[in-house]
């Protein structure tokens, strides 16, 4: 399974500084602080890298196999989708 | 250490400034203006253990000079302890500055992502093994942000590693500012220090620093400078000065002061290169440069913007001017480790070897003898600088482009410029604005100071 397209949803704003990323969901009036791998992934996502590049960055950053990196990446993206931060277009390809 | 007639007081200098002398002891952080009889009295007293009566003008100076100063700057010893990790992600650049030998971005190799990760891992491992809590990563080029994907990965990865190990991380980059607004805003949010190359208003910038298609770059670079100004990072502007722009330094300073809010403006003389010679660009006249940078500083200083010539920073005593000799590890795109960010061919052509080792899958492979070899690149090996009062500030300048194994006091234009600006900086610190103006208007006085064969007080007749 892989995410073909990833879109940050309208109403999501964020502030990235040198130690953390704060994401505010204006629709749900909620916020979330991202650090560690989640913070790194949000940085790359906001720079509009495609899924394949996110996967490569993740594999390198997590020092793991492509399969493990894919699991971790999808898990994080799906959690963000559940929170209403992103919209994923997932395929089984 | 230079042998001295003054027991325990070897680095005391005296510079002629019109009808007085500027006494300068860098290791005591002491400067004073003395008339010739007072200087003679001080010189005689230093040669003996005599005390001067408390009322004597020079007795306080004498007392201070007899106290120990800071230690003479020396190269590091012991295990390699890098003050930062430098990453050269690419040697290429999308700009085509008329004085720069960087190659077009598409014809030069980029650092593989795996190598960037390995360099960061190895650096953090080294710091942890030494109990260090602070990591510092600098990005050089070429233009580092022409390899933006590697910067995006490296910055996020370094943050990840620093957080895992409970370390503080600082990030710095030297950049041309020629990229999208989105990338620029991200840089401003992530980096601690940015050194932006910007030579002046549009007419100067577009003439000296066009893009590869000879189009002007000022519009985009100025937009970047505004973004950096509005951010909370430490923002430096670095302007290259040529023979044609030196007289315009005050105008450039006024423009920068009007447009931006940098913490510091660094004016540096053009370093001749094959490309600059082809474009018939030359370094500025050093006498004009000293006058012009002072006038520029009178515009910038009141706004809290430091005006700097890097070789004339009198507030820093060092044994080497640059990363070489300071245990810095700089990683080239091909994995070579050095402490010099110039091209290998540049230092090889001077018969120098600046290699520190290599990085591979197992991490840094640093040759101990290379480390010791690089530590020898210090002021203590530079015969030209033996009797110069700038020896612990300029430290002889660039080891590659400014070879200093020539007889003492063989001062070239770069030396003249550094000596004049350093002397003026000392006088400025003593609030001697009138004397500085008189000195800079008196070419013979400037010549006497700049050409003095030895600055050592003990050599003064």
Q: What is the mean pLDDT of each run of 10 residues along chain B (461 residues)?
A: 58 96 96 95 86 78 91 94 96 94 80 97 96 96 95 97 94 98 95 98 98 96 98 97 98 98 98 93 98 98 97 96 94 96 91 94 91 94 96 96 90 97 98 98 98 92 66
The C-alpha atoms of residue B210 and residue B204 are separated, in whole angstroms, by 10
pLDDT at B294 (0 to 100): 98
What burial class does residue A3 get, using C-beta atoms within 10 Å of its C-beta: 0-12 exposed, 13-18 middle, 19+ buried?
buried
pLDDT at A3 (0 to 100): 63
Contact B58, B12 (CB under 8 A): no
Cβ-nearest to A43 among B114, B117, B152: B152
Chain B residues whose beta carbon lies within 8 Å of the beta carbon of residue A18: 159, 169, 171, 189-190, 192
pLDDT at B103 (0 to 100): 76
The C-alpha atoms of residue A16 and residue B185 are separated, in whole angstroms, by 10
Q: Are the beta carbons of A61 and B163 separated by less than 8 Å?
A: no
pLDDT at B50 (0 to 100): 75
B181 touches chain A (CB under 8 A): no
The C-alpha atoms of residue B445 and residue B17 are separated, in whole angstroms, by 6
Nearest chain A residue to B150, by CA: A57
pLDDT at A29 (0 to 100): 84
B279-283 contacts, C-beta under 8 A, 24 or more apart: B279/B98, B279/B99, B281/B98, B281/B99, B281/B208, B281/B242, B281/B243, B281/B244, B282/B242, B282/B243, B283/B241, B283/B242, B283/B243, B283/B413, B283/B414
- Residue B319 is given by DSSP the state S
pLDDT at B2 (0 to 100): 46
Of B69, B77, B107, B114, give the one whose Cα is nearest residue B90.
Answer: B107
What burial class does residue B20 get, using C-beta atoms within 10 Å of its C-beta: 0-12 exposed, 13-18 middle, 19+ buried?
middle
Report which of residues A3 and B248 the model is more confident about.
Answer: B248
- Residue A39: is its pLDDT beyond 60? yes
How many CB atoms are closer than 10 A to CB B439? 23
Nearest chain A residue to B192, by CA: A18
Of B227, B80, B445, give the one whose Cα is nearest residue B436.
Answer: B445
The C-alpha atoms of residue A51 and residue A74 are separated, in whole angstroms, by 10
Residue keyed to tokens 């400014």: B402
Q: Are the beta carbons of B155 and A16 separated by less than 8 Å?
A: no
**Between the CA of residue B432 and those of B90, B305, B423, what are the distances in Å?**
46, 19, 11
Cβ-nearest to B163 among A35, A43, A44: A35
The C-alpha atoms of residue A62 and residue A79 are separated, in whole angstroms, by 18
**Between the CA of residue B377 and those of B32, B324, B410, B459, what are the distances in Å?**
31, 7, 19, 27
Question: In the structure encoding, which two tokens stand for residue B155, read together?
Answer: 């910055």
ipTM of the complex, rounded to two decimals: 0.92
The C-alpha atoms of residue A20 and residue A36 are separated, in whole angstroms, by 8
Nearest chain B residue to A57, by CA: B153
B152 touches chain A (CB under 8 A): yes
Question: In the structure encoding, which two tokens stand for residue A22, read together?
Answer: 């704060």
The H-or-E segment that residue B166 falls in is none
Mode of pairing for the β-strands spanning B168-175 and B193-197: parallel
pTM over 0.90: yes
What percentage of chain A has pLDDT greater than the value 70? 94
């Amino acid at each position: 399974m892989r995410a073909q397209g990833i879109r940050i949803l309208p109403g999501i704003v964020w502030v990235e500084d040198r130690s953390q990323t704060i994401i505010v969901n204006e629709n749900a009036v909620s916020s979330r602080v991202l650090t560690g791998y989640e913070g790194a992934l949000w940085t790359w996502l906001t720079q509009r890298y495609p899924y394949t590049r996110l996967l490569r960055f993740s594999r390198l950053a997590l020092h793991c196999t492509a399969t493990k990196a894919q699991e971790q990446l999808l898990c994080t993206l799906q959690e963000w989708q559940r929170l209403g931060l992103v919209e994923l277009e997932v395929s089984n390809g | 250490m230079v042998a001295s007639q003054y027991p325990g007081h070897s680095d005391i200098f005296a510079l002629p400034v019109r009808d007085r002398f500027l006494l300068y002891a860098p290791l005591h952080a002491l400067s004073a203006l003395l008339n010739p009889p007072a200087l003679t009295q001080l010189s005689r007293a230093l040669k003996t253990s005599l005390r001067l009566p408390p009322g004597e003008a020079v007795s306080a100076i004498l007392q201070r000079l007899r106290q120990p100063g800071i230690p003479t700057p020396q190269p590091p010893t012991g295990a390699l302890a890098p003050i930062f990790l430098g990453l050269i992600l690419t040697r290429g650049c999308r700009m085509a500055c008329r004085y720069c030998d960087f190659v077009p971005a598409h014809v030069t190799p980029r650092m593989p992502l795996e190598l960037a990760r390995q360099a960061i891992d190895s650096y953090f491992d080294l710091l942890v093994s030494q109990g260090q809590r602070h990591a510092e990563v600098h990005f050089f080029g070429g233009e580092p942000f022409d390899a933006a994907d590697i910067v995006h990965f490296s910055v996020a990865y370094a943050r990840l590693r620093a957080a895992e190990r409970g370390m503080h991380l600082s990030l710095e980059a030297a950049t041309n500012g020629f990229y999208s607004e989105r990338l620029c805003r991200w840089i401003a949010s992530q980096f601690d220090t940015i050194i932006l190359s910007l030579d002046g208003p549009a007419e100067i910038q577009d003439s000296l620093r066009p893009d590869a298609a000879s189009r002007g770059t000022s519009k985009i670079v100025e937009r970047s400078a505004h973004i950096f100004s509005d951010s909370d990072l430490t923002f430096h502007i670095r302007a290259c000065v040529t023979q044609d722009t030196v007289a315009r330094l005050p105008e450039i300073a006024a423009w920068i002061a009007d447009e931006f809010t940098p913490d510091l403006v660094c004016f540096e003389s053009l370093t001749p290169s094959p490309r600059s010679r082809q474009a018939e660009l030359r370094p500025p006249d050093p006498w004009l440069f000293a006058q012009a940078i002072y006038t520029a500083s009178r515009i910038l200083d009141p706004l809290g913007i430091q005006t700097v010539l890097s070789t004339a920073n009198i507030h820093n005593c060092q044994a080497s001017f640059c990363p070489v000799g300071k245990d810095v590890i700089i990683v080239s795109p091909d994995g070579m480790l050095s402490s010099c960010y110039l091209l290998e061919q540049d230092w090889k052509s001077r018969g120098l070897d600046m290699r520190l080792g290599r990085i591979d899958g197992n991490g840094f492979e640093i040759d101990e003898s290379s480390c010791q070899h690089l530590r020898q690149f210090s002021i203590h090996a530079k015969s030209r600088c033996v009797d110069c009062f700038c020896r612990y500030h300029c430290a002889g300048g660039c080891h590659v482009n400014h070879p200093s194994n020539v007889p003492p006091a063989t001062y070239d234009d770069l030396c003249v410029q550094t000596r004049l600006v350093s002397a003026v900086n000392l006088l400025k610190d003593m609030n001697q604005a009138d004397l500085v103006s008189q000195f800079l208007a008196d070419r013979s006085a400037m010549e006497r100071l700049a050409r003095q064969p030895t600055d050592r007080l003990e050599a003064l007749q």
